[in-house]
Structure 1
């Protein structure tokens, strides 16, 4: 089947996730004759209600302040593009990386991280709120579209990468790690782990790690873009950051007198390119 669909198994890196070696789904389903498991997951995510709702969720600026500021939806699309670029260069499974990029903010609140902080405070008596845990709830329970199951019934690798894209959540001894080290894992994650073991004490796939890095690259560059266009700081102030100063010098040297909107775009696109190429070189 893999050869018939042209997925190029011979060109994959040895650490890439092979689509037809998936651990499967919580509710077993027949394989698709035309799509890999991760391609099916991508399509389910894109057609979900939660994905459509991202268009009204804040990235940094609320969406009605201007058509050119990013929302969670436009941010998500940009992350997926960068994730695919990284996956292609590193010979990973592009579809799995794209899945994880498209799903990574499904559980995020409106009003950016400020909204998450307020939700966490409101939910403190019940264990708090975490947008990654909420994303898991969305794709395993809250989406109620299919006749045979709640959620999207995504492949194990997609769920694992969604929950652990920032690294293991538990130590080998079972103690919470990272931001949960002084508390406990969110209820949604603990409850789902009773149904399906996502190996919370291990690192996720290389595809999940690529999606996480793509998220960092996207918001670093595009928050800079939105901040410049909103007038929160001036282009010349970027010279205080050596990395950005070198890009600014490069743009001004090649395009002296360039109008500001194009100047901003040239700075941002070069910033993304440098970060992507650096990841590839260091991998």
Structure 2
């Protein structure tokens, strides 16, 4: 892979090549990507979607929106720092093509901003609820009407693939979704493979999948333009990651490791003294002891340690990326950057505590159970309304359901797979609060 292709400014529908040196410096193409994402309704909906605590009533716990904004800020720093060194190593990118350090930051920032845009309500339990509706729930009745790959898309419903769908799908009057640059879409794709085969290797890019069968052709066009290295062909394709996807992943890893931990402390789920001790271990080489000891309250100490920890991990992630740049460009780097981290032990300790004290806390589990049942009921309601069994006429209830969900405008000629995928994507687009309200409405609990 080469940077000239990987930094493509091409957008869906372009007939002519977009050249970096011809860009208007006041509003660059990669910065337009960021603007389009932040003004999209899909991004705004993240303000009422779970990051750690579903339906939290406190004002200091992160939502998917605040998490995404923070990941984007970290991603911008990662991209700029890496971009500066890449341009020094490959000066023709700047002298001949006109690329600047900030281009790398803008690409990573935009991709990071969108990284959770396809996630369902109630966090990862929402993904499981949708998948299990089709694997062991009432949705299993559709299995014989689908190809193995289509069925796999549903039973392993993936927020990353749904995000790619949102960013790229054609809708009436809107071609190419948000029409982002191919460079940003490439950086967004942490898992450039389809749903089958499921986890065929331990390669980080095979951990999940990045596009549904419905968007396979779109993905292949993007991969070809970017010059991504194909690693599997035939019926089930896979490619090496776009190099900047490693920085997007690192930005997400940094934020959820440190900031979810901070949320746990603020919620009282993790003992303050205990938690601060773990953060100090992570920043022991950069902490100013005198300054730290001068801070008189936990919030200030926590803020200081968080800033140091994020800066420490940003610096190391860039060093790891640059050290492994040749292997990454060759498609031969198969781990996340932090799998190589000198702070791996400290990071694992923090994540272990977060899992035990936050993700498996009674409050989280109780709300995830409720969310699971709500999503299953909504899927049952929508599939019976739009794909009724047998030749029976529509019930009045199903007619009312269709009217109550105007965004589920499903063409009659659409295949069963496309209809099911549209229903899943629509359900995934709901916020936590709207999911609760819709469930209560369809159960007759709300007037």
Superposition TM-score tier, normalisation by shorter sequence? 0.7 to 0.9
1:223 and 2:260 are equivalent in the alignment: yes
1:96 match: 107
1:139 match: 167
Task: Provide the aligned length of Structure 1 versus Structure 2.
Answer: 259
Q: CA distance change for structure 1 residues 140 and 277 in 2, over 3 Å: closer, same or farther? A: same
Q: Please, which runs of 5 or more residues in structure 2 have no aligned partner? A: 84-100, 141-150, 232-238, 323-447
CA shift, 1:258, in A, is 2.0
Q: Out of 261, 264, 269, which is 2:299 matched to?
A: 261
CA distance in 2, matches of 1:180, 1:161: 12
Q: Out of 152, 155, 172, which is 2:181 matched to?
A: 155
CA shift, 1:148, in A, is 4.6
**Segment drifting more, 74-83 vs 270-279:** 270-279
Q: CA distance change for structure 1 residues 196 and 79 in 2, over 3 Å: closer, same or farther? A: closer
2:14 match: 28
Contact 1:248/1:267, CA 8 A, preserved across alignment: no
- Output the TM-score relative to the length of structure 2: 0.51
Q: What's the Cα RMSD here?
A: 3.4
Contact 1:37/1:155, CA 8 A, preserved across alignment: yes
Q: How does 1:1-283 map to 2 (within 5 A)?
A: 15=3, 19=7, 21-22=8-9, 24-28=10-14, 33=24, 35-91=27-83, 93-124=104-135, 125=140, 126-127=151-152, 128=155, 129-141=157-169, 144=171, 147-149=173-175, 151-163=177-189, 165=190, 168-169=192-193, 177=201, 188-197=211-220, 198=223, 199=228, 201=231, 202-238=239-275, 241=278, 244-245=280-281, 247=283, 250=287, 253-256=290-293, 258-282=296-320, 283=322
CA shift, 1:176, in A, is 5.0
1:10 match: none
**Segment drifting more, 130-139 vs 39-48:** 39-48
1:5 match: none
- Output the TM-score relative to the length of structure 1: 0.77
CA shift, 1:214, in A, is 0.5
Contact 1:61/1:69, CA 8 A, preserved across alignment: yes
Q: Which one has the largest radius of gyration?
A: 2
Q: CA distance change for structure 1 residues 231 and 181 in 2, over 3 Å: closer, same or farther? A: same
CA shift, 1:71, in A, is 0.5
